[in-house]
Amino acid sequence: MKRVVIFAAAAATIVQFTKYNMTALQTLGCEIHVVCNLQKSNLSDEARFQFDRKFPKLIWHDIAFEENIGALRKNQQAMLVLENLLREIQPDLLECHGTIAAQYGRRAATSLQIPVFYIAHDFRIFRRCLLTERLYFSLIERKLARNTTYFFAVCPEDAIYAEKHLHQKHVVSWADVGLDCERFATPKRTRTQVLNELHIPENAIVLISVGTLRMQKRLRVVLQAMARLRHQREELPLHYLICGEGPEMLFLQKLIEKLRLSEQVHLLGYRMDIPDLLGASDIFCMPSRREGCGMAALEAMAAGLPLITVRSHGTKTYAEHKESAYCLKGDLVIACAKAITQLCDNKLLRRQMGAHNRVLAKRFSDEGRMMEIRQYYQKILGDAD
């Protein structure tokens, strides 16, 4: 039986991005080990339960990696634990999800000569990224490129960089996960049912953001835009749903109180009913500094929502100003407030952009995704034993 280790810094990454990988490996009869930080998972118990229920034979290993690039000492110590684990398991493949996992995973696998798949969800070398991050990861990626068997780029810009500057032999363009368009186009509950559960009036204009709550998501931009509009357009019945957990939660709670938005903003935590919440919403907000692909935005598009975002990195593949999205430039708070106002005032525009996005989202469909990744596994692992 072939052994495969799936490695990410946080458990949320495993649950969000590996369902097709897990299914493909199971069809090949592999023994699957999962390595991540279970103590800081950014994941609800219910989400973990549902994932374990779907993939009951996974073998979990809790290693205290940090997603923060500054946690060098902690991650170095965690890498030694990972290296000992790999030596014990003797896997036939190590699959690293994200830049932190790839940085330490490839180093740990080198001495053991383990093939490595690198799924670059949050590749941090792109135009407009922070200079410090670009310099740091340029050095890391160039140094470890030779230890990468397959590089899976989640946006075209990353694929070009990997081929041109890292001289990767095997680069695959690969959206984060395949998109189940039908699931997001057909919610199980009506808008009225969802809004009643959340105690939101029927006439509200509902904004929504979905994802791990990190500083790079810049959700504070939306909150500050709402505070600005409260003084400029008091009559706008705005409500904002924030779905997810993460290190930014406490900061957002304090900011909501400071801006006096507690009655309008709903911190919902990790949710399993995202299709229903998207179906009850009017506008999707994602003003992130960087997104590998931005699957949450694609899910919102499949649900028929217009986007408010920043056209950068992975979002360039689908965010077109006033066609699929309002793309923020300059002062993001002022631009976000203006975008919210224009979409609130024009219901027809919201519907037109939403209809456009439903069609556009089908380009990212999950059809054939499991069989596609299975083929790459077979090149390394061969057929099931």
Give tens-digit pLDDT for 32-60.
Answer: 999 999 988 777 788 888 899 999 999 99
Greater pLDDT, 381 or 382: 381
pLDDT score of 299 more than 90: yes
167: left (phi over 0), alpha (psi -120 to 50) or beta: left
pLDDT score of 385 more than 60: no
Give the model's confidence band at 175: pLDDT under 50 very low, under 70 low, under 90 confident, else very high: low
CA–CA separation, 288 vs 217, rounded Å? 4
Phi/psi for 206 (5° steps) reads -105, 120
Greater pLDDT, 132 or 87: 87
Task: Specify the CATH number for 181-364; select among 3.40.50.300, 3.40.190.10, 3.40.50.2000, 3.30.70.260.
Answer: 3.40.50.2000
Greater pLDDT, 174 or 341: 341
CA atoms within 13 A on the CB side of 12: 22
pLDDT of residue 177: 59
pLDDT per position as a tens digit, 128-149: 677 788 888 889 999 999 999 9
Domain ranges of the chain: 3-178+366-381, 181-364
CATH superfamily entry for domain 3-178+366-381: Glycogen Phosphorylase B; (3.40.50.2000)
pLDDT score of 356 more than 90: yes
